[in-house]
Amino acid sequence: MSEKAVTEEKRVFMTGNEVVAWAALAAGADIMYGYPITPQNEVMHYWTRLAPKYDKKFLQTEDELSAGFATAGGVMAGRKAFTATAGSGSVLMQEPMAMAEMMRLPTVAVLQQRGGPSTATVIYSQQEVTLTTIGGNGEGMRVVYSTAGHQELYDYTIKAFNTAWKYRFPTFVLGDGYQAKMREPLTIYDPETRGISLLEPEPFVGKEGEPGKDRPPAQYRNTFNLEEELYEKVMSDIREFEKVAPEIAEYESMETEGAELVVIAHGIVFRAVREAVANLRQQRFRVGGFRPVTLRPLPVTQIKELVAGAPKILLVESSYGQMARLLKEVACGSATEISTFFKPGVGITAGEVEARVKEIIKS
């Protein structure tokens, strides 16, 4: 066995893409398959420099379809495999991820959202939420962690491997171009020294023994003959997903108790919300903040409680309502007044959130 990449706790100052590479090493990832697209490239750059030192592998594929399908192959071979992409790459990645959904493959994909639609900008957005949570021609049986900075990129990249291998649903770490490219401090650590045990991967194919003699052959398909046959399969996955959803769902909330208005945002936008809520509280506004950390599955119970308790909700995101659609579905039937602040493909500051809150409260 190769030595561990991260042994002691260490405060470091690096870009988010570098954080992802270190986190994947700390999580015991074996192989990365990737294809260049900004702003994800440096995940590959750091991985290709670090990986050989720790007996890890890398393959640059011909496109994101191939990166995704090779990642599916890697996990089927019983290795912790992952990929990273963004933007139009995320679009192509949906095809292999649909297969991962159908075959219940523990793939891990890190997405650094860039502007959309199309090539748009290489900078930043939160416009890959629908794609990542619902994805291709399926029912969205996937886990999506939306991170809000470097510490979380590290924590949740590690967690993503465990979640994927525990529940066997394709798992995504949804970052963005800001998180990819910015530098800020964080603490890296060996998860095992913090009591996080890393799940061992198991092969789907290429198992011990001769198939048909020592054991039945392991055969995986994504095609079904009959509607009923498919229905059985899909419903059994949905039931399982719904059963484990409360275990997987995570959230962060601040000052929501008795708040007149709660601002909901996810990912890096919640940093602006945290700051805005703190400032508004100082100005004696009864305002709180709530953030779904998992966009899939959503922390449904908490969202329902929130909309039942808060007279007003403000949804803030760097897309034209992709998170809002998910939340409104959960909030459906509630009497709360929902306002929005959408800036598709553009970063959001605390000042802007504050101004919007005041506008709503005063109206």
Partner 1 sequence: MQPAPVMPKTWRVDTKPHKFCPGCGHGLILKCLGEAIDDLEIQSRVVYGCDIGCSLLSWDLFNLDTVQAHHGRTTPVMTGIKRARPELICIAYMGDGGGYSIGVQHLVSSAMRNEKITVIVANNTQYAMTGGQMAPTTLPGQKTETSPFGRDPGTTGMPFRGAEMISSIVQEGAYVARGSIANLRQLTGYLKKALKNQIEGKGFSFVEALSSCPTNWRTDAARTWEFIEKDMAGYFKVGEIKIPGRGEVTADA
Partner 2 sequence: MPDTTRMVLAGEGGQGVQAIAEILAEAANEEGRQALYIPNFGVEQRGGVSVAFLQISDQTIGSPKFLKGDIVAALSDRAVQRTAQYTGPETTFIYDSAMEGVADELPKNAARVMPVPAMEVAKKELQPRVFNMVIMGAVIGATGVITLDKAKAAVEKKLGYKFEKQPHLRDLNFKALERGVKLGSEMLGGLH
Chain residues binding partner 2 by CB under 8 A are 13, 38-39, 121-123, 177-178, 181-185, 268-269, 271-272, 274-276, 279, 347-352
Q: How far is the CB of 16 from partner 2 (least distance, A)?
A: 10
The site partner of 348 among partner 2, partner 1, none (C-beta below 5 to 8 Å per kind) is: partner 2
19 binds, among partner 1, partner 2, none (CB under 5 to 8 A by kind): none
Q: What is the DSSP letter of 78?
A: T
User: How is residue 344 annotated by DSSP?
Assistant: T
Half-sphere exposure of 112 (CA within 13 A, CB side): 30
CB 159 within 8 A of CB 194: no
For the CB of residue 107, give the shortest distance to partner 1 in the complex, in Å: 10
Report the SS3 class of residue 206: coil
Whichever of 49 and 207 has its CB closer to partner 1, that residue is 207
CA atoms of 291 and 274, how far apart (whole Å): 10
Q: In the 8-state DSSP scheme, what is residue 261?
A: E
Q: What is the dihedral of CA 241, 305, 176, 359, to 10 degrees?
A: 150
Partner whose footprint covers residue 326, from partner 2, partner 1, none (CB < 5 to 8 Å by kind): none
Report the alpha-carbon distance of residue 38 to residue 297 in Å, rounded. 27
- Fill in the DSSP letter of residue 111: E
Closest distance of CB 72 from partner 1, Å: 6
- DSSP, collapsed to helix, strand or coil, labels residue 173 as strand
User: 123 is in the binding site of which of partner 2, partner 1, none (Cβ under 5 to 8 A by kind)?
Assistant: partner 2
Residues found near partner 1 in the complex (CB under 8 A)? 30-31, 33, 57, 59, 61-63, 65-67, 69-74, 76-79, 81, 95-96, 99, 103, 203-207, 209-214, 217-223
State in angstroms the smallest separation of the CB of 103 from partner 2.
Answer: 36
Nearer to partner 1 among residue 8 and residue 62 (C-beta): 62
Quick one: what does residue 185 bind among partner 2, partner 1, none, with the CB cut-off 5 to 8 Å set by partner type? Answer: partner 2
Interacting partner of 73 out of partner 2, partner 1, none (Cβ under 5 to 8 A depending on kind): partner 1
Nearest to 3 by CA among 55, 74, 58, 41: 55
Cβ 350 to partner 2 shortest distance, Å = 5
What distances in angstroms separate CA 175 from CA 6, 234, 235, 291, one per listed residue?
22, 29, 30, 15
Q: Which is nearer to partner 2, 6 or 273 (CB)?
A: 273
Q: Point out which residues pair with 336 in neighbouring strands.
A: none
Which partner, partner 1, partner 2, none, binds residue 81 by CB below 5 to 8 Å per kind?
partner 1
Measured from the CB atom, the residue of 36 and 351 that comes closer to partner 1 is 36
For residue 19, which of 43, 48, 49 has the smallest C-alpha distance? 43
Is 8 or 200 the residue whose CB approaches partner 1 more closely? 200
- Shortest distance, CB of residue 29 to partner 1, whole angstroms? 11
Residue 37 CB, shortest distance to partner 2, in Å, is 13
Structure tokens at 131: 């794609």
Residue 250 in contact with residue 294, Cβ under 8 Å? yes
